[in-house]
Amino acid sequence: MAYSQDVMIENGEPVIGKVAAAIGGGATLSATQYFFDVPEGATEVFVSLFAFNPSEDIDLEIRKDERVSINGSTIVSDYFSETVGSGSEAITIDSTSNPALSSGRHFIGIVNYESVEVSFTMVSQVEGGGTQLPTQTPSPTATPTASPTITQTSTPTSTPTDTPTEDPTSTPTPTPTFQEPNPTQTLLERADFDGNQLIDVRDLLIFRSLWGEDWSESP
């Protein structure tokens, strides 16, 4: 028995989930729904959904302020992507959408038309509105605290000619040179297909379009 629950998803972070099988040739709305918050000043929201098996038919539904629901045989949502017979769905919400993008909580529901449980991965990307967090700035701020304490020693007259002059010149120089060829950074640069300095859902879509659907069939 499935219990309803709401799960917050992080901006740009893929999530993996499952939606129960449809019964009697109908459709099943996921008991677990995901939500994300759109801040003031946001310019665009992009959500993509991929079934592990691309031939399995699932749909993507988004509703503002409330959970996606079913009224009789009608799915109640504000935005939807319902490609028949496809496990790949995507929704873009911006100022030209109907309704237009606005701040607030948005819920995501997945609809399954298959007679078996379907596994999927999904990504939500919010652009603008202060969603870009500076993740690389905190690390350099920790280094200036070490250098002022060393220069204020009271013994520069007796020991400057022995070891202090050799230590700074020998140890700091090798460390930056070995950190430059970072394999992780090189991998991220190669994965940034659209060249926007971010590894986001658009790169996943470009990857899928370049290599087709055969990647999902690998053991």
Report all structural domains of the chain as residue ranges with CATH numbers, in order of start. 5-131 (2.60.120.380), 170-212 (no CATH)
- pLDDT per residue, tens digit, the chain (219 aa), is 567 899 999 999 999 999 999 988 899 999 999 999 999 999 999 999 999 999 999 999 999 999 999 998 899 999 999 999 999 999 999 999 999 999 999 999 999 999 999 999 999 999 998 744 433 434 443 433 333 333 333 434 444 444 443 444 444 444 444 444 455 555 555 666 555 566 666 666 656 554 554 444 444
Alpha helices in the chain (DSSP H): 146-151, 167-170, 174-179, 183-191, 201-211
Full-model pTM: 0.61
Omega before residue 99 within 30° of 0, cis: yes
Interatomic CA distance for residues 196 and 189, integer angstroms: 10
Closest listed residue to residue 12, CA positions, set 130, 125, 173, 136: 125
